[in-house]
Amino acid sequence: MSPVSASYNGVVVVAPVTIPYRRYAQHDAHWFLAKAVAGLRDAAGLATDDIDGLAVSSFTLFPDTAVGLTQHLGLTPRFLEHVPMGGASAVVQLRRAARAVQAGDASIVACVAGDTNRVDSFRQNLANFSRFARDAVYPVGAGGPNASFALLTAYYMRVYGAKAADFGKLCVAQRDNAQTYPYALIRKPLTLDEYLTARLVADPLRLFDCVMPCAGAEGFLVMREQDARGRGLPFARILGSIERHNAYPEDPIQMRGGWAMDRDDLYAQAGVGPADMDFLQAYDDYPVITVMQLEDLGFCPKGEGADFVRRNSFTAKGSLPLNTSGGQLSAGQAGAAGGHLGMVEAIRQLTRQTLSAPIPDARIGLVSGFGMINYDRGICTGAAILAASEA
């Protein structure tokens, strides 16, 4: 098919930045986002005023949004986006920023996401996450995302025959990947046996299926290729991207995401297919959603995700390197920065600036995002294909 969306030619991503994660923090979200913006400025050798576009994602910025953050940080952008899309925010920020740069509405867009994590802020965020969550989910046991993903996982296992060990293989591989990533909060080696015998949190989910909330931030810059070259910045290209919200509302339970609606367009934009990917940075707060992304992004047919997991290996040198900085399951989930973890890792891999183990000869990779369990399922999905500058 011919692509629906126009090309992203001439726009690139640079300056992968991580503000180190911590389990709990005393600072506000503004502190982490300030560190991210400053980190981007310094990594690219810019003056603050060179940043004329800003995209922000955060759950704990309340009562502020991106608007309040401009005055808080003394920024005067001519392009401003608040992207409240949870784990899909990184892909969506990239898309918004790239089009703004292409159109000349901004020259350099700082894309940042970050959250604080006070000792009690996670519970309060859950209780008021959305109107539907407040009315119809949280009062039913207050299990939070553990409960929501337990229901999806139990159904997936029953209908498609996936086993706990299949999900465990992903978790163990990601923990192996985390060994070399300095910012991962959980680097203690994990065995499959430890995974399978960990305490039950929400049947069938056990401890190592569940992401750990933390504080931290991530960021990257979007600019014209000629500007990146002029400043001598290593960059990655954008070969294609998609987003979709509230896909398949008629499905009784979520067994597929919006990726399945749009993946043909994604690959048509990029002129490549899933087999050409040198890595996948998937959204992984719970392993079942990683398996769904493998299916919906075309790495294998629906229902064959578990078999795909059994036939492949997922470390940096594996047959499909997956979440090579450990994923959220090892690094931690810094709130709305959860989806940025994979985006920033992809940019690092493709620009040869890795902190974790490098993927040999990585040229093209896929970054996928998933966000916002508004009621019973994740609403926002997105994906982008990035390529090394020489690719």
Q: What does the binding site for another protein look like in residue numbers (CB under 8 A)? A: 122-123, 126-128, 131-132, 134-144, 146-147, 150-152, 154-155, 158, 199-205, 249, 252-253, 375-376
Which is closer to another protein, CB of 62 or CB of 132? Answer: 132
Give residues with Cβ within 8 angstroms of 251, minimum separation 6: none
Kindly state the smallest distance separating residue 156's Cβ from another protein, in Å. Answer: 9
> Whole-angstrom Cα distance, residue 52 to residue 103?
14
Give residues with Cβ within 8 angstroms of 140, minimum separation 6: 147
Longest dimension (CA), the chain: 56
Kindly state the smallest distance separating residue 244's Cβ from another protein, in Å. Answer: 17
Which is closer to another protein, CB of 202 or CB of 217? Answer: 202
Which is closer to another protein, CB of 151 or CB of 196? Answer: 151
Three-point CA angle 250, 253, 254, nearest 5°: 90
> Whole-angstrom Cα distance, residue 131 to residue 137?
10
Which is closer to another protein, CB of 288 or CB of 316? Answer: 288
Kindly state the smallest distance separating residue 45's Cβ from another protein, in Å. Answer: 44
Kindly state the smallest distance separating residue 149's Cβ from another protein, in Å. Answer: 9
Which is closer to another protein, CB of 307 or CB of 376? Answer: 376
Could you tell me if 340 and 218 are in contact, meaning their C-beta atoms sit under 8 angstroms apart? yes
| Extended beta strands in 98-214, E state | 108-115, 200-202, 205-206
> Whole-angstrom Cα distance, residue 367 to residue 340?
9
Which is closer to another protein, CB of 146 or CB of 180? Answer: 146
Kindly state the smallest distance separating residue 209's Cβ from another protein, in Å. Answer: 12
Kindly state the smallest distance separating residue 137's Cβ from another protein, in Å. Answer: 5
Per the omega criterion (within 30 degrees of 0), is the bond before 63 cis? yes
Give the count of beta carbons closer than 10 Å to the beta carbon of residue 78.
11
